[in-house]
Chain A
């Protein structure tokens, strides 16, 4: 027969300080666990959302990032003529040959503190090629002018980014024509201008990449084969989504390893705390346990009951940890995308699955900490204890 749960609840309430201290200790571990994984999640999400399954990114063969790549004009026109490219309602191909460069910009507040920001020179079709782009203010940059569109996440972090203001880089002023959002992706940390304007201001007659929308999303492999086999060009063809996901891999992996190592070590400490608490509970309640055993409860039930009690403390801690971590959701932070040495802003991202994982983690800590004390409880020598 099972010992009712109310017995455990009352026991916990009977020693509120010890319960609270143990639960809070576990809660802090869970909070750090959730916060760190939310950081890793947010970073990965920003880069993963950048790419679309329907888009193709073409780089020079061997280039591992847009920054390392370079494509000549001729190669870009060969690519733009590919039959695999989708066409817009006006019949023109949805393709954008792009210049990608990182520029130093002074930060808001202290303009001597420089950040590296991506400047992307795009063709006028880029807005349709990337379906997640939304204009939030202003008009698209006009052709032939030094005008730029600013990603949402740069606003408020860099001066002179308001519509109509003038941003200075590459030795000339650029008028801010619009602001855009991009579904939380890394594009939101970029500045976009017309490729023909950006190119002469930067590396000269070279594009870095060509992006296009696939006419048939299922035909990626075929497009890849034909383009990579084309003798006139030496390129690597990537699915855009896979390419950006892979860019987040290194840092994402580092963050995850860090999160697991740090919380793993913390967890051991918290489990020790739970062990102490539960042993103390078992030894101070020895007569009670003896009574339970005398009443006919099986040692197995006693073991289960004490394990449950430990898990209960931990679960309370898990919930506290979730509550402690929740406010961090959506907080914007920035780090460097080491693949391009540019700064990328992203938000901490707490998902329901992550919260659930936090609680499971807590319960596991509680069970581990409670096991040996619970086993001792089930073996309390009845006669001695009841005396």
Chain B
């Protein structure tokens, strides 16, 4: 600790350089944390799904519908407790620039099967009662400035025409992975106005015990195998995971960029450390002459590098954690639940330590090995 004034003097000698280097490290770790959070968010979405929920889609293609008449047959299957269904509606609002998901759902059974969507009891009742009512995610209130009780008109892209719905309720997801910017309305209302009637996009089933999932799924698919619309049933988690793979090689892309960022900043930091060390050759020689050991000098340079990288890391990682949380960032609905995880922060911390080692080692070793006589000869 008695070397604190010395360290402070060294870091303060080129204040600008120290600050700029810290800022570079902070920017690098901020970027790193952001990029890695894209990966962890997609990963969390792929992991999401209750072990007791199955999803049944048309096996020919998930965009093809299934007859709504399957609902009763699914309900009658052994091990199935609840059944609900939904349709992708594909509505546009206003100029359509801000995309959000729109579904037609069988309201009561859907909300029963998804306790993660929390709706105030009076709003839930109002939504269930109103045939042309809509239930919206809490974020849509902010985005469009909508209010409960207001009429909104969507343009149907799949189901043509204008669809006017009354906002009756607002849901708040209790699990951040669930989108908080979707709009849902009554399937009955869609069915009655559509030319294509009796179609369900997909079914969601709640089963009695998670370990029965594979058996129930197989029983369902066997039952509908030779019908006009054969089914494919899997766990909700597998269904979500299949959407997550649609992002393609995002993981590789983010990791590669992350590595390039960290490496680029390593160069900046290493350069700054070397410049500082070079300017201080004489001082180091003097310190050695008055009795500083090689090891101590090595440690001092390393410590100086460490202070720079760790300070930068704390600023960069802290900013990432706080900024995304404060702005409720979700990449325009693409990455719900975007939040820098503790594991990302831990890895960021380790990167800071690696940066310290990599940028400090050459100047530190040089300081330790400096031949005193040769260096002092230049002192005027």
Q: Which residues of A contact B (CB under 8 A)?
A: 17-18, 21-22, 24-25, 28-29, 31-32, 36, 39, 60-65, 67-68, 101-104, 113-116, 119, 169-171, 201-203, 234, 250, 254, 262, 265-266, 268-270, 272-273, 275-277, 279-280, 284, 333-336, 341, 343
| Known A113-B245, A202-B61; further 9 A-B contacts with Cβ < 8 A | A62-B155, A63-B157, A170-B60, A262-B257, A272-B268, A273-B272, A279-B17, A280-B17, A341-B246
- Give the residue name and chain of the A residue nearest to B30 (CB): A265
Asked if B23 is at the interface (CB within 8 A of a chain A CB), the reply is yes
> Of A62, A119, A273, A336, which is within 8 A of B246 by CB?
A336
User: Using Cβ atoms and an 8 Å threshold, which residues of chain A touch B158?
Assistant: 63, 68
- Give the residue name and chain of the B residue nearest to A372 (CB): B16
- Check B275 against A276 for contact (C-beta < 8 Å): yes
- Check B157 against A28 for contact (C-beta < 8 Å): no
Tell me the bound Cα distance from A335 to B252 in angstroms: 13
User: Using Cβ atoms and an 8 Å threshold, which residues of chain B touch A336?
Assistant: 246-248
| Given A116-B246, A202-B64, A268-B27, A275 and B264 contact (CB-CB distance below 8 Å) | no
A-B contact pairs, 26 of them (CB 8 A): A22-B268, A22-B271, A24-B264, A24-B267, A62-B156, A62-B157, A63-B158, A63-B160, A104-B62, A116-B61, A116-B62, A116-B246, A119-B61, A171-B60, A202-B64, A234-B160, A266-B260, A268-B23, A268-B27, A269-B264, A272-B268, A273-B267, A276-B268, A277-B275, A284-B279, A336-B246
- The smallest C-beta distance from A210 to any residue of chain B, in angstroms, reads 17
| Given A68-B158, A103-B61, A273 and B268 contact (CB-CB distance below 8 Å) | yes
Taking CB atoms and an 8 Å cut-off, the chain B residues in 82-111 that contact chain A are: 90, 92, 96, 99
Taking CB atoms and an 8 Å cut-off, the chain B residues in 1-30 that contact chain A are: 14, 16-17, 20-21, 23-24, 27-28, 30
- Check A201 against B60 for contact (C-beta < 8 Å): yes
Tell me the bound Cα distance from A295 to B204 in angstroms: 85
> Of B60, B61, B257, B264, which is within 8 A of A270 by CB?
B264
| Given A31-B260, A102-B63, A276-B275, A21 and B270 contact (CB-CB distance below 8 Å) | yes
- Check A18 against B275 for contact (C-beta < 8 Å): yes
Which has the most chain B C-beta neighbours within 10 Å: A254, A273, A333, A343? Answer: A273
- Check A272 against B21 for contact (C-beta < 8 Å): yes
Tell me the bound Cα distance from A169 to B64 in angstroms: 13
- Give the residue name and chain of the B residue nearest to A60 (CB): B160
Asked if B149 is at the interface (CB within 8 A of a chain A CB), the reply is no
- Give the residue name and chain of the A residue nearest to B161 (CB): A62
> Of B20, B64, B257, which is within 8 A of A276 by CB?
B20
- Give the residue name and chain of the A residue nearest to B65 (CB): A203
Tell me the bound Cα distance from A109 to B117 in angstroms: 38
User: Using Cβ atoms and an 8 Å threshold, which residues of chain B touch A333?
Assistant: 248-249
> Of A39, A269, A280, which is within 8 A of B24 by CB?
A269
User: Using Cβ atoms and an 8 Å threshold, which residues of chain B touch A202?
Assistant: 60-61, 64
User: Using Cβ atoms and an 8 Å threshold, which residues of chain B touch A234?
Assistant: 160
- Check A61 against B61 for contact (C-beta < 8 Å): no
Tell me the bound Cα distance from A265 to B62 in angstroms: 40
- Check B61 against A101 for contact (C-beta < 8 Å): yes
| Given A32-B261, A202-B61, A262-B31, A277 and B271 contact (CB-CB distance below 8 Å) | yes
| Given A62-B156, A62-B161, A268-B27, A25 and B61 contact (CB-CB distance below 8 Å) | no
- The smallest C-beta distance from A259 to any residue of chain B, in angstroms, reads 10
> Of B21, B61, B99, B264, which is within 8 A of A28 by CB?
B264
Q: Mask for B221-252, Cβ within 8 A of A = 1, else 0?
A: 00000000010100000000010011111000
- Give the residue name and chain of the A residue nearest to B226 (CB): A171
Total chain B interface residues with beta-carbon distance under 8 A: 52
- Check B31 against A266 for contact (C-beta < 8 Å): yes
| Given A277-B271, A341-B63, A25 and B246 contact (CB-CB distance below 8 Å) | no
Asked if B274 is at the interface (CB within 8 A of a chain A CB), the reply is yes
Asked if B263 is at the interface (CB within 8 A of a chain A CB), the reply is yes
| Given A169-B60, A203-B64, A333-B248, A273 and B271 contact (CB-CB distance below 8 Å) | yes
Tell me the bound Cα distance from A204 to B155 in angstroms: 25
Q: Which residues of B contact A (CB under 8 A)?
A: 14, 16-17, 20-21, 23-24, 27-28, 30-31, 35, 59-64, 90, 92, 96, 99, 155-158, 160-161, 230, 232, 242, 245-249, 253, 257, 260-261, 263-265, 267-268, 270-272, 274-275, 279, 334
Tell me the bound Cα distance from A114 to B156 in angstroms: 29
- The smallest C-beta distance from A180 to any residue of chain B, in angstroms, reads 22
Tell me the bound Cα distance from A172 to B274 in angstroms: 68
User: Using Cβ atoms and an 8 Å threshold, which residues of chain B touch A262?
Assistant: 31, 35, 257, 261
- Check A269 against B268 for contact (C-beta < 8 Å): yes
- Check B267 against A25 for contact (C-beta < 8 Å): yes
Tell me the bound Cα distance from A254 to B35 in angstroms: 14
| Given A28-B260, A28-B263, A62-B155, A276 and B30 contact (CB-CB distance below 8 Å) | no
User: Using Cβ atoms and an 8 Å threshold, which residues of chain A touch B242?
Assistant: 114
User: Using Cβ atoms and an 8 Å threshold, which residues of chain A touch B161?
Assistant: 62
Nearest 6 interchain pairs by C-beta: A273-B268, A28-B264, A269-B24, A25-B267, A336-B246, A272-B20
- Check A62 against B62 for contact (C-beta < 8 Å): no
- The smallest C-beta distance from A89 to any residue of chain B, in angstroms, reads 37
Tell me the bound Cα distance from A343 to B20 in angstroms: 44
Tell me the bound Cα distance from A82 to B228 in angstroms: 35
| Given A116-B62, A275-B20, A36 and B257 contact (CB-CB distance below 8 Å) | yes
| Given A234-B160, A272-B21, A18 and B274 contact (CB-CB distance below 8 Å) | yes
Tell me the bound Cα distance from A86 to B366 in angstroms: 78
- Give the residue name and chain of the B residue nearest to A36 (CB): B257
User: Using Cβ atoms and an 8 Å threshold, which residues of chain B touch A101?
Assistant: 61, 63-64
- Check B264 against A25 for contact (C-beta < 8 Å): yes
User: Using Cβ atoms and an 8 Å threshold, which residues of chain A touch B99?
Assistant: 250
| Given A201-B60, A202-B64, A272-B268, A32 and B260 contact (CB-CB distance below 8 Å) | yes
- The smallest C-beta distance from B68 to any residue of chain A, in angstroms, reads 16
User: Using Cβ atoms and an 8 Å threshold, which residues of chain A touch B60?
Assistant: 103, 169-171, 201-202
> Of B92, B96, B261, B270, which is within 8 A of A266 by CB?
B261
User: Using Cβ atoms and an 8 Å threshold, which residues of chain A touch B334?
Assistant: 254
- Check A280 against B275 for contact (C-beta < 8 Å): yes
User: Using Cβ atoms and an 8 Å threshold, which residues of chain A touch B63?
Assistant: 67, 101-102, 341
- The smallest C-beta distance from B321 to any residue of chain A, in angstroms, reads 16
- Give the residue name and chain of the A residue nearest to B61 (CB): A103
User: Using Cβ atoms and an 8 Å threshold, which residues of chain A touch B264?
Assistant: 24-25, 28-29, 266, 269-270
- Check B271 against A18 for contact (C-beta < 8 Å): yes
- Check A269 against B28 for contact (C-beta < 8 Å): yes
- The smallest C-beta distance from A152 to any residue of chain B, in angstroms, reads 19
User: Using Cβ atoms and an 8 Å threshold, which residues of chain B touch A39?
Assistant: 253
Tell me the bound Cα distance from A60 to B161 in angstroms: 11
User: Using Cβ atoms and an 8 Å threshold, which residues of chain B touch A334?
Assistant: 248-249
Tell me the bound Cα distance from A206 to B156 in angstroms: 18
User: Using Cβ atoms and an 8 Å threshold, which residues of chain A touch B232?
Assistant: 104
